[in-house]
Chain A
Amino acid sequence: MRKFSASAWLLLLVFLGSCRASDLFVVSAYHRPDPFGSFVSSDLAGASWNHSIQLTSARGGYVSFQLVVKSDTACKDCGLTIESSQPADVYREWFHFNAPDKHYYPDALIPIQVPFSFQMPDPENAIQGQKVRAFWVDVWIAADTKPGVYHGRARLTDGSVRKTVPFTISVSAAQIPAHDALNIDSNSYGLGWLQEQYPKALAGSGRAKEDEQFQLIQQYYRMFYENRGIYHVLGYGHSGYVDPGFAPELAGAGKEKHIVSWDRFDRLFGPVLDGSAFNGTRRGPQSIPFMYMPINPEWPANYLWWAEPGYQAEFTNIVGEMERHFREKGWTNTQFEVFFNQKKRYKGFEWDGDEVRFPKDDAYFLVYHDLLMNALPKTTPVRFVMRADSSWTFPQQEKLLKNVIGLWCVGGTDLIWYLDRVPGMKQRGDTVWIYGGTPPVQDVSSSIASDPLRAWIFGVDGFVRWLAVSPGPHPFETLVNGGKETLAYSGERFGIEGPIPSIRLKLQRDTMQDLDLLEMESKQGSRDAIQTQVVHLFDDTTVAQWRHSPLPPPPGNPLDWTNADLDDVMKPYLAQFPTPQPDAWQRVHDFAVKQAGRTQ
């Protein structure tokens, strides 16, 4: 056998070195990679592996992209660094196995500090054959940033191999307004889910862990706020039990019933009501705009006294004390929602507060409105508002409960037939939201923009994702339902005692930033033209298609409708909308920044 010469050995070493085929790419936020070297199938259209990227941004917001490391060989000492003249938040992306289609999708974002050392494959994510690690980058463009072009770069080190990719951000003069054009709400229920998601932090639970629970809830408020959303947590269940902290503690009965302690309530909600929970966020401290009250048929008045004088006495005493407390605390920027979530199918009460189907149940709203008005001083600066979540009988409820309900949350598709009512509702001071679910991870990335866009085209004030903190029992192993009930995950597995965001939440935030710009521009008088252009860019549709259903609602009494009847009449409406391209919102973003930069 011939011996290799020294130079041959050297060449071999160089060759082997180059076989450490790690490479670093910079990828649009809308094209999610898979762990095996491609893109997830729903985001494949238009996806490309780039060695540079040029982005545009308005001021007062974030601009996002992904860094993707691909390597055919294992790497135990990879490193990532980022140089940016603007502050950058970096996250590593977690690939979830998704049960519905048995594919992997990146979604949870785990905050990291750069320089960041990592391995390929990721021993923690533990995916057989993993060749890709991905990182999400949020660059913060402060409101006082000077318009211009900013350069940055990311560098991968893999042994002796170094790869650098530049990114360029063109910052326009446009300013994203501090206040959002829409309330994009993430909804949740009670505290029970915290125990499942934070087993270490809440081990033992009970009153000893109350502070930890309360701080976790505050962190959810903070995370959604920083990502241009709002957060709701309902503190009572279908039979009226109020979780500790969601209401002041009461004592006595009848005319003697009174509040004995605000301690828990103030510790839980005080920081979000006075805004201090948001200290240190890039958006700055602000009081939350909306909040559920614990008021339900069993609280503060004992159901035992329903329809008797004692019910009024207990209700009036306690709500009156609440008003006084809120006023003394200066909590006058928040709308305190009197919202009845119970459904009779859960057997706690005899009427549906949520999604009323039986017209007789509307009468209860009138009773509670009377009770509420009776409990509040006429000139109070504290903003209590009656809220109704309405679907089956929205048109009837809107007529009957005019001037009773001040916050309407209407089924996202149910409102399509009654959009002509929205201006009148807003004119009398009502807030109008629509509600629905959350696109699962297997949907195209840009689908997260559809509902906020629909709310904006409808001319309503917001969109509610009915459940947004429930990723299922073991989301880092398997997403059982595509993550369609969550936009956040528990960070506990990663040593973070609080929530971590998702890619979908970040994309929703980016959508909101652009809608804020577009709304600002629309107020200049060109709303129709702007909306026409936006839906054309998004999915090549027209505003008329968004705002009109080809078919009317089902005939007859809503009480006789089935969900199938509604599905049938909605099909032609929904069929008008093609699945958006992954970069559908990127086109809207570019338009929004350009448009706003031109006029500011």
Chain B
Amino acid sequence: MKLVTFALVGFQLAFVPVCVRPAVAQTSVSSAANTAAQQQDLQEIARVATAMIDGDVCQHIVTQRALEHMLHPNPRDEWQAGDNYDVHDAPFIETKKNLIRLATLAPYPVDVNLWMPVPTTQDIQVVIRNKYNLSQFWHGGLEQAMPPEMQEVLQSGKTLTLQKTPGMISVLAPVRNSLNEIVGLVEVVASTASPQHDEQ
């Protein structure tokens, strides 16, 4: 194996050590069925996420070209926005790894998804999803109408805990950039049942 081939990714991971004590007690899955305890776990992860996730980096994930295609649909090509969706590898990878690290703070399956508003629209898009396909909000689209709960987080900076979908708990928490602007949010989500399966 020539590790040099990894250099093609063209970045050095800006590793952010998680120096905080694990915020989540190492409880078993069965005890996590206790909704209150699980909520507390997810809220803790969300709190750390707000502290850790770099909004400036997140703002560089989706390419300008991809956004242009999302904002200007082609009436002759319904797939245009999806076909041209693209991200900058380095900020995507850096952020996704941090989201994965955050998810490992719970001893059961948790996804930490990144959501960001689509500029100049009232829409929002999930920018990074994770392994277990967990979300109370994502329905498979490239972008979607802004749910009021997400709007509230983006406007107020509050953290919200939600159980809209039976069997699923989400905590929404803001992501800020260096100007202290809220530029996105994380959805820290776990299932009280088994992991959901993917749409293909």
Q: Decide yes or no: A237 and B200 within 8 Å by CB, A307-B9, A367-B8, A563-B77 being known contacts.
A: yes
Chain-A contact segment, one of B21-29, B37-45, B124-132, B170-178: B124-132
| Residue among A189, A302, A316, A562 with the highest chain B CB neighbour number at 10 A | A562
Contacts between the two chains (Cβ within 8 Å), count? 115
* A239:B133 contact, CB within 8 angstroms: yes
Q: How far is the CB of A451 from chain B (nearest CB, A)?
A: 21
Which of A3-11, A208-216, A340-348 forms contacts with chain B? A340-348
Question: Complex: how many Å from CA A302 to CA B101?
Answer: 11
Residues of B within 8 A of A563 (CB): 76-80, 83
Contact in complex: A562, B198 (CB < 8 Å) = no
A303 near B100: Cβ-Cβ < 8 Å: yes
A310-347 vs B, Cβ < 8 Å mask (1 yes, 0 no): 00100010000000000000000000000001011111
CB neighbours of B96 from chain A (8 A): 303, 349-350
A298 interface residue per 8 A CB criterion? yes
The residue of chain B having its C-beta at the shortest distance from the C-beta of A315 within the complex is B1
Assuming the A-B contacts A350-B87, A366-B8, are A303 and B97 also in contact, with contact meaning beta carbons closer than 8 angstroms in the complex? yes
Interface check B137, CB cutoff 8 A:
no
Q: Nearest Cβ distance between residue B170 and chain A, in whole angstroms?
A: 16
**B104 to chain A: which residues have CB within 8 Å?**
304
**For B133, what are the chain A residues with a Cβ–Cβ distance below 8 Å?**
237, 239, 241
Task: Please encode chain B, from 120 to 161, with 1 for each CB lying within 8 Å of some chain A CB and 0 for all others.
Answer: 000001111111110000101010000000000000000000
B132 to chain A, nearest CB (A): 6
Chain B contacts for A562, CB-based, 8 A: 74, 76-77, 80, 83
Which residues of chain B come closer than 8 Å to A191, judged between CB atoms?
Answer: 197
**Beta-carbon contact of A306 and B93 below 8 Å:** yes
B93 touches A345 (CB 8 A): no
A237-B198, A308-B13 in contact; A347/B2 too (CB < 8 A)? Answer: no
Is A241 within 8 A of B93, CB to CB?
Answer: no
* B86 contacts A238, C-beta separation under 8 Å: no
A240, A316, A350: which contacts B92 (Cβ < 8 A)?
A350
Please measure, in the bound complex, the distance between the C-alpha atom of A316 and the C-alpha atom of B3, giving whole angstroms. 13
User: B10 CB to closest chain A CB, in angstroms?
Assistant: 9
**What is the distance, in angstroms, from A410's C-beta to the closest C-beta of chain B?**
17
B127 lies within 8 A of A367 (CB): no
CB distance from B92 to the nearest CB of A (A): 4
Nearest-Cβ distance from residue A582 to partner chain B, whole angstroms: 32
Q: How far is A346 from B199 in the complex, measured between Cα atoms in Å?
A: 9
* Proximity string of chain A (418-453) to chain B, C-beta cutoff 8 Å, 1 when within and 0 when not: 000000000000000000000000000000000000
Residues in B with CB closer than 8 Å to A392 are 83
A367 touches B5 (CB 8 A): yes
Task: Please give the distance in Å from B95's CB to the nearest CB on chain A.
Answer: 10
A559 to B86 alpha-carbon distance, docked (Å): 11
Distance between A514 CB and nearest chain B CB, rounded to angstroms: 32
Known: A234-B200, A370-B5, A563-B77. A347 touches B97 (CB 8 A): no
A371 within 8 Å of B by Cβ?
yes
Across-interface contacts of B85 in A (CB, < 8 A): 344-345
Contacts A350-B93, A370-B2, A371-B1 given; does A344 touch B200 at CB 8 Å:
no
B96: shortest Cβ distance to chain A, in Å?
Answer: 7
Question: A243 contacts the other chain (Cβ, under 8 Å)?
Answer: yes
Say yes or no for B82: interface residue by CB 8 A criterion: yes
Most B CB contacts (10 A, CB to CB) among A238, A241, A360, A559 go to A241
Q: Give the most central of A345, A357, A563: most B CB within 10 Å.
A: A345
Q: Is B194 an interface residue (CB 8 A)?
A: yes
Tell me which residues across on chain B come within 8 A of A341, comparing CB atoms: 200
Q: Is the CB of A307 within 8 A of B93?
A: yes
A351 at the B interface (CB under 8 A): yes
Task: Please classify how large the interface on chain A is, using the bins under 10, 10 to 19, 20 to 34, 35 or more.
Answer: 35 or more
- B86 to A304, Cβ gap below 8 A? no
What is the CB-to-nearest-CB distance from B53 to chain A, in angstroms, rounded to a whole number? 15
One digit per residue, 1 when the CB lies within 8 angstroms of any chain A CB and 0 when it does not, for chain B 188-200 equals 0000001101111
| Cβ distance B110 to chain A, nearest Cβ, rounded Å | 13
Q: B100, A241: Cβ atoms under 8 Å?
A: no
With the chains together, A241 CA to B90 CA distance in Å? 23
Q: Tell me whether B86 and A358 are in contact (CB under 8 A).
A: yes
B68 at the interface (CB under 8 A from A): no
Closest to B193 in A: A206
Q: Which residues of A contact B8 (CB under 8 A)?
A: 363, 366-367
Contact yes or no, B131 A298, CB < 8 A: yes
CA distance A366 to B79 in the complex (A): 28
- Across-interface contacts of A239 in B (CB, < 8 A): 129-133, 198
Measured between alpha carbons, how far is A564 from B97 in the docked complex, in Å? 37
How many angstroms between the C-alpha atoms of A240 and B200 in the bound complex?
11
Nearest CB of chain B from residue A208's CB, rounded to whole Å: 12
Query: What residues on B are CB-neighbors of A79 within 8 Å?
Result: none
**B1 and A312 within 8 A (CB):** yes
Chain B residues with Cβ below 8 Å from A307 are 6, 9, 11, 13, 93
Contact B97 A206 (CB under 8 A): no
> Is B181 part of the contact surface with A, judged by Cβ < 8 Å?
no
User: Known contacts A234-B200, A237-B133: does B86 contact A344 (CB below 8 Å)?
Assistant: yes
- Complex interface: chain A residues within 8 A of B93 (CB): 306-307, 350
A344 and B13 form a contact (CB under 8 A): no
Pairwise interchain contact B200-A238, C-beta atoms closer than 8 A: yes
Are A351 and B89 in contact (CB-based, < 8 A)? Answer: yes
| Most A CB within 10 A of own CB, among B77, B78, B83, B101 | B83
Give CA–CA (A367, B89) in the complex, Å: 15
Closest Cβ–Cβ distance, residue A18 to chain B (whole Å): 57
Given the complex, which residues of A lie within 8 Å of B9, measured CB to CB? 306-307, 363
Would you call A192 an interface residue if the criterion is a C-beta within 8 Å of the partner chain's C-beta atoms?
A: yes
Q: How far is the CA of A306 from the CA of B89 in the complex (A)?
A: 12
Which chain A positions have C-beta within 8 A of B78? Answer: 563
A190 within 8 A of B: yes
Q: How far is the CA of A238 from the CA of B197 in the complex (A)?
A: 10
Q: How far is the CA of A192 from the CA of B194 in the complex (A)?
A: 13
- A238 and B2 contacting across the interface, CB-CB below 8 Å: no
Chain B residues with CB under 8 A of A346? 129, 140, 199
Given contacts A312-B1, A367-B6, 12 further A-B contacts (CB under 8 A): A190-B198, A238-B198, A239-B131, A241-B133, A303-B100, A307-B6, A345-B82, A350-B93, A351-B89, A370-B2, A562-B80, A564-B76
A selection of 24 A-B contacts at a CB cut-off of 8 Å is A190-B198, A190-B200, A237-B199, A237-B200, A238-B200, A239-B129, A239-B130, A240-B131, A241-B197, A243-B197, A307-B6, A307-B9, A308-B6, A343-B82, A346-B140, A346-B199, A347-B129, A347-B138, A348-B128, A350-B93, A367-B5, A374-B1, A564-B76, A564-B77
Going nearest first, the 10 A-B pairs with the smallest beta carbon separation are: A237-B198, A189-B200, A374-B1, A564-B76, A350-B92, A562-B77, A345-B85, A363-B8, A345-B82, A192-B197
